[in-house]
């Protein structure tokens, strides 16, 4: 696969890519992702991943961070769009709704684009203690 | 009626409480199975990422869902990278496996250059996106310091077939997989098998020896455990030993045709060894002097012979014991000619023996006492012999 691509692509471009990747991996040694290394190592070890290199762990951490940031950014856009729609309707409630809150509604919309179907039913309560009561009452 | 209603309400509340506790317990147990601690840390990390994007607050359920998705993302990358590495006949992942995994996961929403199937992984659009993100995003270290996870960071992999320079035992096993353990480690009960083989072959002498050895070992153990064990050896003990032997499937069959013999190996190994030496020596003597019975010269001879025998025994290495025991087994087969004479002699010798070698430890002396005792009520044994 690599041999074919090297034939197709000019050699300089491939060298540039290699150099860029090497530099990036080297720069990861100094970069501390928000997701801690230990957490990533823990979950990678659970999945059977086997590599002692810290840079790869950091690469996974950065990739995950980027993924979460992408999802959260999309959700933020949904949130802002919803708020602006609300603002149009009711000017007086502007002060209260100004806060940016990560809600399940926005998140499920954002995650849908990434292939994750999160549907949370309307009657689900937010906190676990609140969620227990209606179920217990039903039974 | 109102009272009853009140009671009912109270009971209902109590039941509800109980149910609640039960559910909480259940939840706790479940949570301890799925690592709660790591999930909490993932939640904090995700919350930090969201905060950096401009969020001011969050719903708990939304944060839980997002952190769960993030954790699944990590695990999926790991899984895909690992399968890529295994597909390439490797044990450990490298960068390209991880990039391949990232591309697989990113193929849902797409990335630049994804349409080109033969693109080089080092110049992948996913990597470029990540580089861009790292350059752009601010560096937010994790807010808290926490104890180390119980992750073995530097796992020592078992060497593969290829690394050991061996060929896998079968064609369907690829060479990069870890080597199988040596076959010797697998059959722990090889000795048992050997014994079984011996039994199948029907080598009576060998089996005899084994029975003797096991009984002698048993006897030694008894002596070691309780000091008076050797002295207090009685038919009851013999029966116990008999039962122990019978319970062992490998040792039971050889005993069936001469069960009474088991009472003989009363003696510990050393003692029995000595006894055999003495008896042999005496038997040699008897060949010469049994008819004439000149006691004094006989004892003189015995003395010299015995000294020799002791010296011989010192020369004999410990490994050589088995051959001597084998003699013991074969000796038993010989008929009981001139047994009364022999026993008399042995009794005397043993007495003299006990006096002479007073330098030896108590154990040995006690063993000799046993020998004497054994000889005293040796009528049974002689009959068996």
Q: Is the model more confident about B181 or about B128?
A: B128
Residues B321 and B331 in one domain: yes
Token pair of A95 as six digits: 């002060």
Q: Which of B120, B136, B152 is the last residue of a domain?
A: B136
Pair B84, B73: CB distance under 8 Å: no
Least confident of A42-46, B6-10, B241-245: B6-10
Residue B45 domain-assigned?
Answer: yes
Tell me what the mean pLDDT of segment B110-115 comes to.
Answer: 75
Token pair of B203 as six digits: 């080598």
- Which residue range(s) make up the domain with B253? 190-266
Predicted confidence band of residue B248 (pLDDT cuts 50, 70, 90): low
B19 interfaces chain A, CB cutoff of 8 Å: yes
Q: State the pLDDT at residue B12.
A: 45
- How many domains would you assign to chain B? 3
Least confident of B32-46, B95-109, B325-339: B325-339
Residues B46 and B86 in one domain: yes
Report chain B residues whose CB lies below 8 A from the CB of A69: 49, 52-53, 133, 137
Residue B301 domain-assigned?
Answer: yes
Q: State the pLDDT at residue A46.
A: 86
Does the pLDDT value for residue A54 go beyond 80? yes
The number of C-alpha atoms within 13 Å of B19 and in the hemisphere containing its C-beta is 14
Q: State the pLDDT at residue B6.
A: 43
Element (H, E) at B263: none
Q: Is the model more confident about B44 or about B244?
A: B44
Q: State the pLDDT at residue A60.
A: 92
The number of C-alpha atoms within 13 Å of B345 and in the hemisphere containing its C-beta is 28
CATH of the domain at B65: 1.10.20.10
d(CA B33, CA B72): 17
Task: Give the Cβ contact number of residue B333 at 10 Å.
Answer: 10
Above pLDDT 70, what percent of chain B? 37
Residues B247 and B283 in one domain: no
Token pair of B352 as six digits: 């003299």
Does the pLDDT value for residue B313 go beyond 60? no
Report chain A residues whose CB lies below 8 A from the CB of B19: 136, 139
Tell me what the mean pLDDT of segment B262-285 comes to.
Answer: 55
d(CA B19, CA B6): 20
Least confident of A5-19, A33-47, B211-225: A5-19
Residues B305 and B381 in one domain: yes
Q: What is the mean pLDDT of chain B?
A: 65
Q: State the pLDDT at residue B173.
A: 81
> Mutation test of the interface with chain A: which of B34, B38, B61, B94, choosing the one with the most A Cβ atoms within 10 A?
B61
Tell me what the mean pLDDT of segment B185-197 comes to.
Answer: 63
Summarize pLDDT for B320-366 with one digit per residue, the tens. 444 445 455 444 444 444 444 444 444 455 445 544 444 446 666 67
Tell me what the mean pLDDT of segment B171-180 comes to.
Answer: 79
A24 interfaces chain B, CB cutoff of 8 Å: yes
Residue B17 domain-assigned?
Answer: no
């Amino acid at each position: 696969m690599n041999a074919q691509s090297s034939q197709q692509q000019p050699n300089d471009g491939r060298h540039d890519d290699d150099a860029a990747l090497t530099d990036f991996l080297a720069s990861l040694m100094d970069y501390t992702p928000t997701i801690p290394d230990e957490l990533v190592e823990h979950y990678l070890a659970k999945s059977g991943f086997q590599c002692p290199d810290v840079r790869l762990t950091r690469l996974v951490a950065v990739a995950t961070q980027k993924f979460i940031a992408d999802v959260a950014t999309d959700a933020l856009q949904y949130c802002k769009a919803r708020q602006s729609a609300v603002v149009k309707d009711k000017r007086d409630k502007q002060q209260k709704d100004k806060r940016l809150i990560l809600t399940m509604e926005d998140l499920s919309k954002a995650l849908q684009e990434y292939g994750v179907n999160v549907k949370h039913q309307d009657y689900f309560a937010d906190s676990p203690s609140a969620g227990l009561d209606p179920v217990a009452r039903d039974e | 009626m109102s009272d009853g209603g009140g009671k009912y309400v109270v009971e209902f509340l109590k039941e509800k409480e109980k149910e609640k506790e039960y559910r909480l317990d259940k939840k706790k147990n479940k949570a301890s199975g799925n690592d709660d601690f790591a999930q909490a840390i993932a939640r904090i990390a995700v919350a930090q990422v969201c905060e950096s994007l401009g969020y001011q607050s969050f719903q708990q359920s939304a944060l839980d869902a997002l952190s769960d998705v993030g954790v699944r993302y990590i695990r999926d990358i790991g899984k895909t990278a690992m399968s890529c590495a295994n597909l390439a006949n490797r044990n450990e992942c490298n960068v390209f496996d991880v990039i391949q995994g990232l591309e697989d996961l990113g193929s849902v929403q797409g990335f630049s250059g994804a349409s080109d199937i033969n693109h080089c992984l080092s110049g992948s659009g996913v990597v470029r996106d990540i580089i861009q993100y790292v350059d752009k995003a601010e560096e937010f270290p994790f807010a808290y310091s926490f104890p180390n996870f119980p992750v073995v960071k530097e796992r020592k992999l078992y060497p593969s077939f290829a690394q050991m320079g061996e060929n896998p035992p079968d064609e369907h096993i690829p060479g990069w997989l870890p080597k199988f353990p040596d076959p010797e480690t697998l059959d722990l009960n090889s000795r048992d098998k050997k014994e079984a083989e011996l039994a199948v072959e029907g080598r009576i002498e060998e089996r005899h020896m084994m029975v003797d050895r096991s009984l002698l070992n048993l006897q030694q153990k008894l002596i070691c455990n309780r000091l008076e064990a050797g002295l207090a050896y009685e038919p009851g003990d013999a029966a116990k030993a008999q039962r122990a032997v019978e319970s062992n499937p490998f040792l039971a069959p050889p005993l069936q045709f001469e069960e009474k013999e088991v009472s003989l190996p009363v003696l510990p190994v050393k003692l029995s060894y000595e006894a055999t030496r003495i008896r042999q020596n005496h038997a040699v003597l008897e060949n010469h002097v049994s008819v004439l019975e000149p006691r004094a010269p006989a004892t003189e001879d015995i003395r010299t012979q015995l000294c020799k025998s002791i010296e011989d025994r010192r020369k004999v290495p410990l490994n050589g014991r088995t051959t001597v025991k084998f003699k013991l087994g074969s000796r038993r087969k010989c008929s009981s000619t001139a047994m009364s004479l022999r026993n008399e002699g042995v009794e005397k010798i043993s007495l003299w023996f006990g006096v002479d070698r007073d330098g030896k430890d108590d154990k040995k002396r006690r063993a000799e006492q046993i020998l004497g005792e054994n000889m005293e009520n040796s009528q049974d044994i002689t009959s068996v012999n």
